[in-house]
Amino acid sequence: MFITKYIKSLLLILLSIMFLSITIGTFNYFNIINSKALTIFEIISVIISMIIGGIYIGKNSNQKGFLEGIKVGLLTIIILFLFGYLGLEQKINLSTLFFYIIILISSILGSILGINKKSSD
């Protein structure tokens, strides 16, 4: 029961990233957006997905939504690190570190919004 809310949040994040990536990829395929805009939209899609996952975990937590957001954000970062760096043998640079910070902040923001939305309902 305790782990299932984190798994559901991670699945929600994964599904929203997949949906937004397919949408952005389709726009790129038909030359609706260029390569510079593609990079920006990719980052925005990850931010939106992390906020969605954070809202879900915030709604399902009892208190301190920012801690739940930190947990989900760190879990996502660990998963990305394991897939990206151990599997592909890539090195950590400043841009990936900045990307991980964006993931963590988005997750925290989403969980704070989720717990506040829960308390207002």
pLDDT tens digit sequence for 25-80: 999 999 888 888 888 999 999 999 999 999 999 988 887 888 989 999 999 999 88
Query: Is 22 contained in some domain?
Result: yes
The total number of structural domains in the chain stands at 1
Q: What is the DSSP letter of 30?
A: T
Query: Could you list the residue range(s) of the whole structural domain that residue 79 is in?
Result: 2-93+110-120
Q: 1 vs 113, which has greater pLDDT?
A: 113
Give domain status of residue 98, yes or no: no
Is position 104 within any domain?
Answer: no
Cα(1)–Cα(9) distance, rounded to whole angstroms?
13
Structure tokens that stand for 24 in this block: 């952005």
| Residue 62: DSSP 8-state | S
Task: Give burial (CB, 10 Å; 0-12/13-18/19+) of 38.
Answer: middle
Please check whether residue 52 lies inside any domain of the structure: yes
pTM (predicted TM-score) = 0.89
Domain presence at residue 103: no
Q: Which two tokens stand for residue 57?
A: 């975990």
User: What angle is formed at CA 75 by the lines to CA 111 and CA 116, rounded to 5 degrees?
Assistant: 5
